[in-house]
Structure 1
Amino acid sequence: MFTDRGTGTEPAVGAEVESTQEGTAPPHAPGRRRSRTALIAAAFVVVTAVAVVGALGLGGGDKGPQAPPRAGSAVAVTRTTLVERTKVEGTLGYGTEIPLPVKATGTVTWLPEAGATAERGDTLLRVDDRPVVLLYGTLPMYRELGLTAAPAAPTAPESGAPTPPAPGGAGGKGTAGTSAGTGAGTGSENDTGTPPPAATPPPPQPLRGMDVLQFESNLAALGYDGFTVDEKFTSGTERAVKRWQKALGVPVTGRIGLGDVVYASGRVRLGQAGVRLGAAAGDNALTYTGTTRKVVVNASALEASWAVRGADVTVGLPDGSPVKGKVAAVGKQATAPEGEGGNGGPPTVPVTITVPDQQALGRLESGPVSVEYVGRKRENVLTVPVAALVALAEGGHGLETEDGLFVTARTGLFAEGMVEVSGPKLRAGLKVRIPQ
């Protein structure tokens, strides 16, 4: 409350307040009615300004700033937890679209619609009328999968062995320039002149690797069996692949080509195609995102302390309904906003927020939203409505008790129309007046 010092024999407006000690009743003076009216008017102006700052500049929760109590009424000092909440703008969507690693070569003959979802075993696109199938995994397709031929054993002739006779030689006789042998040959012909039988080719050998394990896991998940899911591509795997190829309507070879499949971490939502029908397939043929809607906030790098992985937030939808969210990721690289002369504002970092209850988002797939987070929290503190504060002439704030006494109140956190107060004369349950 403002106090003034008067001069002369007539008490000045507010003179009785100066002589009043904290916690004592003001004396009865002739000018008391005029001074009290002036003081209340001055306090009302200051309290109004403080209330605006507390409500607009320092937070607000799900319920919004509380309506100030009626002027002249008495309210109790309460002990509670005071929370400051801040709202920032965000964007709802599926995240940044990423190119699918399509390695098939040829002409694109079919493309899906943008926004379609695909899961394990679904066709992503067709190249030369051959499906490119989605499988789950983190290891990219980098080689053809199938049985491999064993390397042939070396057959170098022994040192000093004579040159084999020409075909058609009878009785082991050699050609001109070579000595005739009588039973001393190279083994390429027997005594009757019949060549030995051709060597049997070695059986195909299993292909080994972690990519084989990843592929076999998908094949088994699609319902094809008859093999052990491990790091070996065996004849059992080959038979299962042939059954899968027959179901897909492609040539039954038992081998998986480099461009036959594409791996992703799970179900995907397909974005805009990067090519048209009839164009050559390539790495930018299709883009994708996850199938879960999320919110991205470009938070000020100077005020991003709230953005901690796992922190709870509230997402405000365009229709005003709140949805619970959780901070999932915080970018590590700050970006300067666009603006002439570098005055576009402080640098920002991207903050990704997930929404566990996807049904609460309804059919909304993208658009602007708000994100409300807890900035500061003060637990077990004394609070009063902001409207109860009275600015004192000597500086600081005070509160008027029901008895008309004024006690000093140090202010702390402003939030939700309330303010944290402390002082030697303050206690929970103390009744204070709202200035008129």
Structure 2
Amino acid sequence: MLIAGCAVVVGGACSVALLTVRHPDTKPTGRTAGTATAAVTRTDLAQQEKADGKLGFAGSYTVAASSALPFASSSAGTRGAQPDGGKDTGGSGTLTALPTVGQVIKRGHRVYGVDGKSVTLWYGSVPFWRQLKTGVTDGADVKELEQNLKALGYGSGLTVDEHFTDATAEAVKRWQEALGVTQTGRFGRGDVVVEPSAIRVTKVSGVLGGSPSGNVLEATGTDRVVKVDLKADKASLAKKGAAVQVQMPGGTATTGYVSDVGTVATAPDNSGNSPGGGGDQQPGSGTEKATVPVQVTLDKPTQAGKLDQAPVTVLFTSTEHKGVLAVPVTALLATVEGTYAVRVVDADGATRLVAVELGLFADNKVEVSGSGLHEGMKVQVPSQ
């Protein structure tokens, strides 16, 4: 019977050399020259699909200066303070401090300065929209104020809730004292910048000596992520929480997980593809090129170094078989009948053919099953 030695590659061609061998049921034969051996292993195999991605940072934030001057309620005459929690009106002021591009700013650290006063970063999701003081109505902004005071170490004896108490006012005073401003126990809406977490400055729009109006800076979060525009017909590959591999620039690899999957597919704008901009569908355009945004968070962010906007390749698992027997694909022998076999090497060095059924291909290995095949067996492979 004729069989062919074949290095099988999923989706690829195979160079075949015909060999004359005995049928698997015949007596053992001697070892073939020019071969080595490899073990039959029990392992997990995963089939992967590649997608292009871009390394960056999570989140995108624009920091705008408040129309209320920081600590206006702490200044002489409580400039800008309105009765019973009304909004501060503020004044023009002067930018006296700005961060640098690339700087990472954490909670309690200065984002920018106005009139010599530091406007620091606090964490939260509720913008401060009014002056907070004893007697103000309850609200989520009060709770956010107390959460930050507690996190920064000024909340001794403070109960975090939505009620502004005397204990809240005392905590505000301790914070104001540390900043070097008048301790009034009142908190103004321009006193801090609120973002969900630490930020990394990407652009500074403000000018020292200028007015603190409009956008002062742009920033991202600090979590290292990879953003992938995954083809819509491949969106099922991206399952939130699923593990992925990331091939970094320079050939190194790291791991991560799918942290966010968009729910809206976006197609290219094809308005210019037809006369008059009518947007008629062209071959290979429109829905055929629609993509879904996918975000991957790295397990070990330090492995990304300082790279930003660098191209990477993300490997998504499409199929996975656990605890299967596998051999190197180069161990496969394809028969002219369309079946496959491996040449097993017994303990005494003699060889015999064992017919196998093929399963999943991955990582230059192939899942195999067959009568008498078990973990630890040795099979022939071409020598290096």
1:132 aligned to 2:119?
yes
What is the one-letter code of the residue matched to 1:300? K
Verify the 8 A CA contact 1:302 1:346 in the aligned structure 2: no
Q: Cα offset for 1:323?
A: 2.2
The count of aligned residue pairs is 322
In structure 2, the residue matched to 1:73 is 35
Which among 325, 339, 342 is matched to residue 397 of structure 1?
Answer: 339
Verify the 8 A CA contact 1:104 1:260 in the aligned structure 2: no
1:352 aligned to 2:295?
yes
CA distance in 1, matches of 2:152, 2:379: 72
Structure 2 residue matching 1:269: 3-state secondary structure? strand
Verify the 8 A CA contact 2:36 2:382 in the aligned structure 1: no
In structure 1, the residue matched to 2:315 is 372
1:272 aligned to 2:272?
no
Structure 2 residue matching 1:256: 3-state secondary structure? coil
CA distance in 2, matches of 1:405, 1:246: 85
1:85 aligned to 2:53?
no
Verify the 8 A CA contact 1:137 1:214 in the aligned structure 2: yes
Alignment of 1:1-400 (within 5 A): 17=1, 43=4, 47=6, 50-51=8-9, 53=11, 73=35, 78=40, 80-81=42-43, 82-100=45-63, 102-105=65-68, 106-107=92-93, 109=95, 110-147=97-134, 205=135, 207-224=137-154, 228-229=158-159, 230-250=161-181, 252-277=183-208, 279-282=210-213, 284-337=215-268, 341=282, 343=284, 346-394=289-337, 396-399=338-341
CA distance in 1, matches of 2:151, 2:351: 79
Q: Cα offset for 1:369?
A: 2.4
Verify the 8 A CA contact 1:382 1:422 in the aligned structure 2: yes
Verify the 8 A CA contact 1:54 1:417 in the aligned structure 2: no
CA distance in 2, matches of 1:102, 1:357: 35
Backbone CA RMSD of aligned residues: 3.9
Verify the 8 A CA contact 1:414 1:420 in the aligned structure 2: yes
Distance 1:236 1:380, change over 3 A: closer
CA distance in 1, matches of 2:342, 2:179: 83
Distance 1:55 1:249, change over 3 A: farther
Verify the 8 A CA contact 2:150 2:158 in the aligned structure 1: no
Distance 1:240 1:386, change over 3 A: closer
Give a deviation string over 1:271-319, Cα, whole Å, max 9, x none.
Answer: 3134444555455332222222122222222223332222222223223
Given the two structures, how large is their TM-score scaled by the length of structure 1? Answer: 0.60
Moved more, 134-143 or 364-373: 364-373
CA distance in 2, matches of 1:145, 1:262: 15
Distance 1:417 1:247, change over 3 A: closer
Verify the 8 A CA contact 1:108 1:125 in the aligned structure 2: no
In structure 1, the residue matched to 2:360 is 413
Q: Cα offset for 1:141?
A: 0.7
Verify the 8 A CA contact 1:207 1:234 in the aligned structure 2: no
1:427 aligned to 2:373?
yes
CA distance in 2, matches of 1:331, 1:211: 30
Given the two structures, how large is their TM-score scaled by the length of structure 2? Answer: 0.67
Computing the radius of gyration from Cα coordinates, the structure with the larger value is 1
Verify the 8 A CA contact 2:335 2:341 in the aligned structure 1: no
What is the one-letter code of the residue matched to 1:95? A
Q: Cα offset for 1:91?
A: 1.8
More strand by share: 2
Give a deviation string over 1:299-344, Cα, whole Å, max 9, x none.
Answer: 2222233322222222232233332322222121222257865736
Q: Cα offset for 1:135?
A: 1.7
Q: Cα offset for 1:354?
A: 1.8
Structure 2 segments unaligned to the other structure (5+ residues): 15-31, 69-91, 274-281, 345-349
What is the one-letter code of the residue matched to 1:427? L
CA distance in 2, matches of 1:260, 1:128: 12
Q: Cα offset for 1:143?
A: 1.0
Q: Cα offset for 1:113?
A: 0.9
Verify the 8 A CA contact 2:62 2:217 in the aligned structure 1: yes
Verify the 8 A CA contact 2:41 2:327 in the aligned structure 1: no
Distance 1:71 1:126, change over 3 A: farther
Structure 1 residue matching 2:216: 3-state secondary structure? coil
